[in-house]
């Protein structure tokens, strides 16, 4: 059963690496903008909105619907970038194997 012991050790090493990457990604910031930079959103790897910056020029037209669309676009894009980055990092560690509940 030497092989089983090796497999378990490898699994533990991979688990440790995955946990480390998850922690690093959770602490990382991901930024996206919309409207030519009129709205900027920064999101953490935990999918938490960290900041939202709105250029005063975005308010000049009094177009509330446009501003709402710009905010949604920036926030959604920042979330997509964060998710894609997490998936890319996890895939590199797991050799491309999708692990349920990890990402």
**Domains in the chain, CATH or no CATH each:** 2-94 (3.30.1310.10)
Which residues, including other chains, have CB under 8 Å from residue 79's CB and lie 6 or more apart?
30, 43, 47
Q: Given a cut of 80, is residue 79 above it in pLDDT?
A: yes
The more confidently predicted of residues 12 and 98 is: 12
Query: d(Cα 45, Cα 8) in Å, to the nearest integer?
Result: 29
Report the SS3 class of residue 57: helix
Q: Given a cut of 90, is residue 29 above it in pLDDT?
A: yes
Q: Please tell me the predicted confidence (pLDDT) of residue 16.
A: 86
Q: Please tell me the predicted confidence (pLDDT) of residue 17.
A: 83
- Confidence band, pLDDT 50/70/90 cuts, at residue 15: confident
Q: Please tell me the predicted confidence (pLDDT) of residue 65.
A: 95
Residue with tokens 């194997």: 97
Report the SS3 class of residue 78: helix
pTM (two decimals): 0.76
User: Which phi and psi (to 5°) does residue 78 adopt?
Assistant: -60, -40
Q: Given a cut of 80, is residue 71 above it in pLDDT?
A: yes
């Amino acid at each position: 059963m030497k092989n089983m012991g090796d497999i378990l050790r490898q699994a533990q090493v991979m688990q440790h690496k995955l946990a480390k990457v998850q922690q690093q990604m959770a602490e990382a910031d991901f930024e996206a903008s919309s409207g030519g930079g009129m709205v900027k959103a920064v999101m953490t790897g935990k999918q938490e909105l960290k900041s939202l910056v709105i250029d005063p020029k975005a308010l000049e037209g009094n177009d509330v619907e446009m501003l709402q669309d710009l905010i949604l676009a920036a926030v959604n894009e920042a979330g997509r970038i964060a998710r894609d980055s997490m998936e890319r990092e996890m895939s590199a560690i797991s050799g491309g194997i999708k692990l349920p509940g990890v990402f």
